[in-house]
Structure 1
Amino acid sequence: MWQNDGWNVRVRLGVLTPHADVGPESELRAMAPADVGIHAARVPFGAMRPGGGMDETIPLAPVRAFADPPYVDEAAERLAAAPVAAIGFAFTSSAYVIGASAEEAMLERLCTRAGGVPVVATCAAMVDALHSVGASRLALVDPPWFDTELNALGRRYYQGTGFEVPFSAPCSLPSGQTLIRPADLYDWVIAHVPDSADAVVLGGNGLRAVGVIERLEARLERPVLTPNQVLLWAMLRAAGTTTDDVTGYGQLFSLAGPPPHE
């Protein structure tokens, strides 16, 4: 018979991603079942250079600007012209900087620009996922390119949405997307996450993280949530399709959870 050509899918999902970042697409494609299409639109991000290079820590100004018009709005409109059922905003740190209320306003703006196609964002999806797994106290582990100020803003974001954060820090690994190794991330989390946290949240859609979820959950005996994992979960739910056929990437996908974030 004919070889698979990618056309026979049950749903297509769109992703808004920084222009030089391949992390979100790589992880989403790895996790998604074969009958889920992943389609990306690239949005200019002032902290990334051609080839994906960044400084050791990213400044706040381009992080904030990524969520502002016009570039992300234009990308959402173009992406929604394709037959996608939901769109994901694959960026974490802008929500840290602008806060949950402004993130919600951004989602409403993007949904309107996308002609009503539902748009979900990473941090808002993380909040829904934390409720789904019954967590109230989280350990926040951000990428090494998030400085202490950005990490503190992340801690404030989650505290502002009702969670206790007994631990938060950028992981002290080599600062570069291509330098992150799953074994190193696993070891760092095991060594630093306190028993007082009932869930582990990894920040940064560009952090190579989904490959360690199951082993961390088995070792820590608590949920482990990562940006691209929760984004896929939220997009599938916003598209009105199942999540429980995503296997090998944590307990989240087997849970019904609350209604999608609105």
Structure 2
Amino acid sequence: MWQPDGWGGTRIGVLTPHADVNPESEFNAMAPAGISIHAARVPLTVYKPGGVMERTIADDPVRAFADPPFVDDAAELLASAPLHAIVYAFTSSSYVRGRADDVNLKQRLETRTRGIPVVISSAAAVAALKVLNATKLALVSPPWFSAEMDQQGARYFQVSGFDVVHNEPAALLSDQQAIQPSDLFEWVRTHTPTSAQAVFIGGNGFRAVGIIKALEEALGIPILTANQVSLWQALLLSGSQVSVTNYGQIFNHRSPVGAA
């Protein structure tokens, strides 16, 4: 009798840059019935009106995104809702600030979320790689990441115990709204070395989840993306038993997640 109304038994919050629509779009695309997504926006100075972003983002505003008070206040406000987990959806600050800072950021935000667990996207990628027993990683960064930021990403995973066999920003248009799945698929397919045991496509603002299944079939290895691993870990932390299909083999794993 009744039509679906979007009311989810498991509710996932997302902290996202104020002009970035991709995290919500991808979370909603992946989330099956019974999962609802609720976002809060945090100021990020690299954006202009209309969601236009600088062609190459600088380290300083990326680093500042993780500083108090804005993200802390947003986390506390979002946690006023009856949520089961909250995702900090911003890969680049993890790259710039480092792995140890992610541990501190998670702890700091969880002091404001009233016991709701917080997922840090880059740390979720580390947890997913460990669950998959993948030690040799191909790292793909968005075209708006500088070569230096991409290298910082490589160091993030190296410090976490992985062998980064290839890392590079994708040579596509440096415009979030111009990214096409077909272009990204072909770039990743042709730039992933045969030695890689997994691919991680960083950047929560990088449109990527639509190609996960096709890339896994083409390359024969797990494909991870920032928003995909974040949803995977958020569902684990929430205790949800809902199945996510067609968005990567990581969702077949329900192993314990790491502390960060």
Fold-level similarity (TM above 0.5): yes
What is the aligned residue count? 260
Structure 1 moving runs of 4+ over 4 Å? none
1:114: which partner in 2?
113
Q: Deviations over 1:46-80 (max 9, x none)?
A: 11122111111001101001111000000000000
Q: Is the 8 A contact 1:237 1:260 kept in 2?
A: no
Gaps in structure 2 of 5+ consecutive residues:
none
Equivalent residues in 2 for 1:71-220 (5 A)? 71-220=70-219
Percent identity for Structure 1 against Structure 2: 54
Q: Is the 8 A contact 1:133 1:257 kept in 2?
A: no
- TM superposition shift of 1:257: 2.6
> Comparing 49-58 with 200-209, which one deviates more in the overlay?
49-58
Counterpart secondary structure, 1:140: strand
Equivalent residues in 2 for 1:218-233 (5 A)? 218-233=217-232
Q: Is the 8 A contact 1:171 1:188 kept in 2?
A: yes
Q: Is the 8 A contact 2:233 2:257 kept in 1?
A: no
1:61: which partner in 2?
60
Counterpart secondary structure, 1:183: helix
For residue 245 of structure 2, the aligned residue among 227, 231, 247 is 247
Q: Deviations over 1:91-120 (max 9, x none)?
A: 100000111111110100000111121001
Q: TM-score, normalised by structure 1?
A: 0.97
Structure-1 separation of matches of 2:103 and 2:239: 20
For residue 254 of structure 2, the aligned residue among 229, 253, 256 is 256
AA partner of residue 259 (structure 1): V
AA partner of residue 11 (structure 1): T
AA partner of residue 248 (structure 1): N
Structure-2 separation of matches of 1:61 and 1:252: 33
- TM superposition shift of 1:225: 0.2
Structure-2 separation of matches of 1:216 and 1:30: 17
Structure-2 separation of matches of 1:259 and 1:150: 26
Counterpart secondary structure, 2:47: coil
Structure-1 separation of matches of 2:6 and 2:257: 30
Gaps in structure 1 of 5+ consecutive residues:
none
Structure-1 separation of matches of 2:36 and 2:189: 34
1:21: which partner in 2?
20
Q: Is 1:3–2:6 an aligned residue pair?
A: no
- TM superposition shift of 1:85: 0.8
Structure-1 separation of matches of 2:222 and 2:216: 6
Structure-2 separation of matches of 1:48 and 1:125: 26
Structure-1 separation of matches of 2:259 and 2:241: 16
Q: TM-score, normalised by structure 2?
A: 0.98
AA partner of residue 86 (structure 1): A
Q: Deviations over 1:188-239 (max 9, x none)?
A: 0111110111100101001000000001000100000000000000111111
Q: Deviations over 1:12-43 (max 9, x none)?
A: 11000000000000000000012101000000
- TM superposition shift of 1:260: 4.3
Q: Is the 8 A contact 1:131 1:258 kept in 2?
A: no
Backbone CA RMSD of aligned residues = 0.9
AA partner of residue 122 (structure 2): C
AA partner of residue 218 (structure 2): R
Q: Is the 8 A contact 2:13 2:85 kept in 1?
A: yes
Structure-1 separation of matches of 2:256 and 2:83: 23
- TM superposition shift of 1:2: 2.1
Structure-1 separation of matches of 2:241 and 2:147: 37
Counterpart secondary structure, 2:52: coil
